[in-house]
Amino acid sequence: MQKIPYYKLWSVFDIDKEKHQVQKLESEITKQDFWDDPSHAQKIMKEVNRLKTDIEYWDIFLTNIREIKELIGINDVSLASDLEKELGNIEKEVDKRSFTSMLSGKYDADDAFLAIHAGAGGTDSQDWTEMLLRMYLRWAENRGFETEILDMTPGEEAGIKSVTVSISGRYVFGYLRSEKGVHRLVRLSPFDSAHRRHTSFALVEVIPQVAFDDPDIAIDPNDIKVDVYKSSGAGGQNVQKNATAVRITHIPSGLVVTCQNERSQTQNRESAMRVLASRLMEIQQAEKQDEINILRGEYTKAEWGSQIRSYVLHPYQIVKDHRTEFERGNAQAVLDGDLDGFMEAFLKQG
């Protein structure tokens, strides 16, 4: 009977260390001035809840392993089939947790903003943007993540020009950072009367949501211009009679962020500020990385069209990631949200 590689478990999670961290944070929570800084307090509470969820999982998981080990020691042949099945399930769970352990970046455990923008390709590109939105919403749904469309600009004939989505859940940013870049679609165009083959492009942006709570990302109210307007849907029709949509312009950087999802102007403004803070943090990080690359002699300008992944639907079907060489022949399954293989290959390469 196959034995569990127990050494894998401890490389994935140090339960004693996590329990000690919970005790340390809970002692901080009991201090009288804990809620004097609400933003910091919420961060601590979120971290405690995360740690407790992990500890509870591992307590149950390791207890299950000890029980199976005891049953194996009985050497009862009648239990062999059931034990083999249980051992197989444990191996799968260990592999899954080992994969999660690769998500160790600064923001990997956090929520993310996902933005998709239509590129070259006209109506086909806007339709491709809508297809990508559906793909990522399906992926998020399959993982039990919460999604909220904050802003969406429909295309003139079909599809979407641009869309921004908030995705919430454990390790959302860690998984999605593999998706950042240009995505290319090759297919027979449904918008071409001659039904010729077209190539379309869309740009995917992924930004962690934690920037709004980051003290290094302070936004001076004097640096922003806020415009309020009516939300609009396809065909230019007003979705609401009242002006609740918000457009925020960050004057120093020239960044423009819009949000028109919520019914309340206040809610839209808050969501737009969250996106703005995250975008400013991304610029800040990019500038630092560019400086490092220049010093190393590695600086290269990212040009439009340098796609990270191609989705070919004609004359054959294949989805191929050009960074990892990982590919899937079942393109429809990928477009239905089956992205884990691509994400795992990207993380293993990194």
Domain ranges of the chain: 6-100, 104-350
6-100 shares its CATH topology with 104-350: no
Paired tokens of 116: 């998709």
**pLDDT greater than 70 at residue 219:** yes
**pLDDT greater than 60 at residue 235:** no
Domain 6-100 -> CATH class: mainly alpha
pLDDT band at 216 (very low <50, low <70, confident <90, very high): low
**pLDDT greater than 50 at residue 2:** no
Q: What is the dihedral of CA 186, 196, 333, 323, to 10 degrees?
A: -10
Q: Looking at per-residue confidence, does 287 or 235 come out higher?
A: 287
Q: In what order do the strands lie in the sheet with 112-118?
A: 146-154, 160-168, 112-118, 197-208, 181-188, 309-312, 318-321, 327-328
pLDDT value of position 53: 82
**pLDDT greater than 70 at residue 3:** no
- Dihedral pair phi/psi, residue 327, rounded to 5°: -145, 155
CB atoms closer than 10 angstroms to residue 229: 13
Task: Say which residue the tokens 């998500």 belong to.
Answer: 103
* Least confident interval from 144-148, 158-162, 214-218: 214-218
| Cβ proximity of 38 and 46 under 8 Å | no
Q: What is the mean pLDDT of residues 155-163?
A: 92
Domain 104-350 -> CATH class: alpha beta
Query: Helix (H, G, I), strand (E, B), or coil: what is residue 22?
Result: helix
- The pLDDT tens digits for 68-100 are 888 888 888 888 888 888 888 888 777 767 767
* Angle between helix 15-29 and 38-74 (nearest 10): 150
**pLDDT greater than 90 at residue 54:** no
Paired tokens of 103: 């998500």
- The pLDDT tens digits for 244-254 are 889 999 999 88
- The pLDDT tens digits for 24-53 are 999 999 999 999 888 778 878 888 887 888
CA–CA distance, 321 with 145 (Å, rounded to integer): 24
CA–CA distance, 36 with 217 (Å, rounded to integer): 20
Return mean pLDDT, the chain. Answer: 83
**pLDDT greater than 90 at residue 112:** yes
Q: Looking at per-residue confidence, does 165 or 101 come out higher?
A: 165
Q: What is the mean pLDDT of residues 214-227?
A: 82
